[in-house]
Structure 1
Amino acid sequence: IKLSAFSDRPLNERITFAAMYLQQQADQINKEILIAPNELIKLANFDHVNNITALNNRVQLLCAGAYANAPEHIPLRLGQTDMNAILVTPKQQNLQARITSLITSALQLGPTTDALFKKLSDSLNNGESITEQNFLLAKVLNQVDTIAGEKLLSVFAQAIQKDAKTYITHIYGVTFPSDNIFWQNVALAFVFASVCRDNLPDTQSALKIQKAIKHRYPRSYYLFKHFLTKLKIQYVQSPYYYLPFFMMMIHCTSKIESVQYNAILLAHGEHTASSIQQVVNSLCGNYFFEAFNMPIDVTLDQINGYVQKYLTDQSPSAKGNIVLFDMGSLRQMFREIKKVSNQELIVVNNLTTAMALDIGLRVQRNDDFQSIAEASEQYGASTETQYYEGLSNKKNIIVSCMSGVGLSEEVKKLIDATLSPALEVIAVDYKELHTLLTNHDRKFFSNTQLILTTTDVAGDIGGDIGIDIVNVYNVFDKASSQKMQTVLRNCGESPQSINEFIDRLVRFLSIEGIRGRLQILNPDIVIQESQRIVSHYEDFYNVKFGSRLKLNLYMHLSLMIERMMTSKRSTTSIDRATLTPPEQEFFSLSSGIFQPVEQKFNIKVQDYEIALLYQLLKDFIFG
């Protein structure tokens, strides 16, 4: 084993040896020894080829000389003693505590750090640059540069430089100067922090400086804290280890703090997210993304915990948060993260490296939130983006038809052709509307002005969201038509546009409207078949449907037949054994009623279509 020379060891260690030998002399001659701080420093800096043995001999000679010159003095005096002199007492029980006191007194650590913290606090609170805080720390380090030998400091500096490259530059893209003087100064700051931690309590001034750094340089502080955890987890727990921040981060803080968004990558797998993070941050040359590699069985609550902990460590003044993830519910993810922070939020799914790089470059250019959000919607058909709370961030009308999104899209086209472009029209199928109304509150529909459907929505669904839900077939009723006109006027639509919309809607919902919707089949034949099907239901259940319901059924059935001829998509069959007796009866009856149509048009009416029809008719046939 090769031991370091005494002169190459840290000053606090050298002082410990000198104090130990002074304590031995006090015990041996049973006298107190009073030594001047500068004399203790001289002993700690004693350089001899015999190292520690020579130091012990030197202490014995000093004590013997003091005793020989003034044996009557109690205590023995070494050097020019004054009120700052250090007293060594015989039979000292708690030697380590005493040595700590000796080191603190010799280096004047208490007054030195108190003055440093006061100046740093004033500098941070006054908004001065990190250059000024670096100067204040460098001035103190220059005064106590004897705390580490040059050889030891050089080795320590190389180790810190290597760790910084591994844990910061490689992952976060942040680079540091390569010159040796810079890293020796950083190493010296860490040594000073160690001396303070070992010999001083965690004062309120030290804790305040740590908080002030986090407040003033939140992103840089986050990186530096991450670096401390990699060096030694105990470092994070001591406020003194945040002093080297000013020495190490001086050249990169400005660039790091220029990033205005908190960006997060979430991906399943051991390295997926961190691999993309490393590529993007390195190419952009700055810390833009933090990454969380998630286990396959991770829950949404756990993901939310990752995000919440990260955002807590970031600046509350950021322009917004950007979250890219690889799978899961977009709306659910948005809703959960929004609970953590009320800042603007963009959530994008189906994470790719190209997507992350594009967002990283836009953040680097300081693009505004809206432009980043709109760009994220163009990443591909398999990618979804949400950056507003609720269904839409614009005033909107929801259109939902029992016959499917196709019919809803036709109504949407009609609205777009007559009403102003400022009013967004969102077409959804009836099942999705049912789910939205069941699972969301008024806040989700904050921008929704009106919901148009082709069937009445049950009163217990969506009853508390405070939005008018209108069956489009009610447009034939004067009272319902006026209600719709009032809603549209409140949206800022002109009377002329509203009248034109209603006129076109009436034509669309008539038999002539059905003819206009059919693209392939002969309207006369298809409508005739639809009328025959409706008539069979009336006969079997001994009911008489109203004209409005009949018109709705004719359109639904006609479009269903054509859709099934042109679409190859199939749906999962329904297990009829799980149905109620009325449902089983309806399915059995429908199979017979649709048989002629299936043979004529060479189609197979699927269970899904019969289930939709049941939902449309159940209130009329079962009362």
Structure 2
Amino acid sequence: MNVISTKKLLLQFLERDVEFSIESPYRCTTSDISETMHISRSLTSQYLNELNKEGKLVKVTSRPVYYFSTKRLEELYSATVGEFEFYDMEELHGYLQKGKNSVQDFQKVIGNEGTLSYCTMQMKSAMLYPPDGLPIIFHGRKGSGKAYLAEVMYEYGVNQRILSSHAHFVKDHIASIHEPYEEVLFGTSHADRIVPGLLEKAAGGLLYLGDAGNMNMECQRRLTAYITKGTFTRIYDDKTILNVKTRIVLGVEHDLHEQLYDELLLNIPVVCEIPALSMRPQGERNDMIVSFLIKEAQSLKKEILLSKSLYQVFMGYHFHDSIDDMNTNLRLACANAYAQSGNEEEIHMYLRHLPMEVFGDLELSLRGRDSEELLGVDELKMQDGKRQILQLYEQILEAHQMYLERTFDEPEWVNSGLNAMRCYYDFIVFEQRDDDLGRKTIAAKLEELISEVEKQFQITLPLNCSFILARMVYAIYRMQSEVQLWEHQHKDAIHSCQETLDKQLPDVSAMAASIIRKINGAMDVKLGTMNTIFLIFNIHFYNRDVINRDTCGVIISHGYSTATSIADAVNQMLEMQVFKAIDMPLDTDVKQIQKKLVRFVELHPNYRNLIIMVDMGSLEEIASGLQADMNIGVINNISTGLALDIGNRIQRHQELEDILQNACRGFECHYQILSKSGKEKAIVFTNDVGMKVSSKLVELFKSSLPKIINLKFIEYDYDRLQKMGIQDVLFDKYEVILLIKPHMLKLDGIQSLSLEELISFKSIAQVNQILSQYLNDAEIESFNKQLLKNFSLQSIMENLTILNPGKLLDQVSEAITQLQLLMDRKFQSKTIIGIYMHTCFLIERLVTKTAILSDDMDAFEKAHPDFIRNVHISFEKMLKNYSVEIPISEISYLYDYIQNEEWEEK
């Protein structure tokens, strides 16, 4: 039985087979489960803890430790379980009792902590404002959920005892501006009878008026008078003054100033912008689908599953930009599927169950590709980002505990913390991201702070560190009580971990503490000790050997960003911040550069030696006037190769004079003359997937250029190049100034980049140097920005695969992580992008039945049985999801790719 199925069987055992009772938790300990399922105790413990971290099991850390199914607890107690670890049974029981049916009012609203977080705050403020609340406008497209939010607002008022439980919620829609609506709203008084209006019917409660833009002008004037005075009279009765306390919510679709009377707008201080379906992030749309399926399943008393293709339609189709329209189509598809389900216990929904209007609007390729794989509600639930943060913290504390128990030595425990940090980075990189404005604002502010800190302490933090910290700050804004509760529960372990790091990495700990204080002061938030620990690992990882290094390098070069490009390239290759850069635009005075150099020396008094690398002899005297208590060496004719050589020698702590002598001796000039007159210059794209992919890459690259340039862009056959090499007719016809190719294709004498290098942006200086003949500095900067967008991994996958890129990348991430574990190695950061990309294309080839086939695989199977087995285990879940099998030839291809990548790293 394989790893995945055993873990799944264990979960099913706890969900279905255990006679459940908190009061008598029989068969819920590690020993009981191990004995019943005939699994080793250590393996059982591993699976139970993994399922607990995934939120599928609740853990009670008493003696003995108990594990319960989260799903079963929620069903039995009618509660939503958001915590997954408890001190004892009493604490768990109290939590469940308190949580019974506790999901109410705004907690039920999808996006209340996301795109609707500000709206939620506005609605609560309007309801709570003394003495009788404030009127509010819901401004949003038809079908965005305005009426539903008004009902939730009413429920909130009742739950908070602002409104009486006997008060009414009344809603109505104004169909036409020609309707005499003042009679409907204010009621009428006749000689023989009185007809109450909506304001009276909703007295003491809440009145929602949809399509309020259709309200005629007379009605708007009367409503303005009611809002300002708190009284009104019925139509045809000017004598009876009614003092009715009714809260008003208006729903408006179009321009407020065009549809509502100016004085009415002035007297409604709260305007709540309700986002349309297209403005809701993918995670919230997913939650809407899940919520609908859960409600329908309860109503129909059947489990509902839908095909992957149908799920993709509901995640991407426009539905007239209306949430109501999406729900309507979901219900119709479900009804069609239900009609065909007969007596089956499950309802299976496919594309064919869509209403014809939607089905007919789909692309032909999608209509004929209804996946047979079905997804249940559990599979649709996305991982919670805040849970990932707490999981990161838990992994760090677990590694530290193993260090205290002497299971890990000092390097192992620090590396475990670094691995946990990298895993969280991977989750951030490959998850579906929304465009939350609050998070963006925080990230922008943190970028400024981190830049200041880097200058102050002369350290380096990764570019995405501000993004990661922004997520943490944002999460703390949204879930401060949960973080505080978790930190309180683990305060002793956190304090112990902090003490260990203070002793082992004192300088780094002091820097991290200072950074956290700056963030807390600037952002008005309290980041806890775990954030400090996280930052310590970041600083340590990206600045290893920097603090105690005695030699530093500075590159000074003419040009807009020449020095920066060389320094960045070398630092990344060395995986260490060895060089700083000072760019010198052609119109810059040498004295200005000298001032920058003096400032650099003042900020680095700890260095014993300084090596200054310049590009021209005229700059050799630039350091002559420096007043510094350090040895200074100057070397000219800077190049990337020379900088890399010197950087390597600095890393090995060679003496200053030895570094300079050996570097100069090893870098003599060589030349050759190549006659290429008459040939048209070209950039060529080739890949091992197919010409269509190469063609798309050409389009993406050309669309990144700010203008048309006199340069040929060619897509070319990979197999032909692999067979003919530099003898191919391509090189006779064109002067190939750059070849974008797969990593494994080797062509001596041709300037080339791999697609992986282009995506990682590590060799952008090489591309910029080529394009500098055609573009000025401002145009190159524009090109870089657009290329960064077009050639991100997510963008490449969206443009080059027919599969859902987000889902595909998630599954590839899981498979590759499992493969690394089974191979007991970590793929290098330089190659991980290439491995992800190759694996995505591999799955596409299998789905489209264009996999690489070979008859002679016997030798490979005999030589690498372990690798083949590891691939089958790692890819099992993903292959099942896509209903494909991986042939040995594709496994052989993946093996060659990984081995080639490994060789490149050495």
Query: TM above 0.5, one fold?
Result: no
For normalisation by structure 1, the TM-score amounts to 0.32
Question: What's the TM-score, normalizing by structure 2?
Answer: 0.23
Greater Rg over alpha carbons, structure = 1
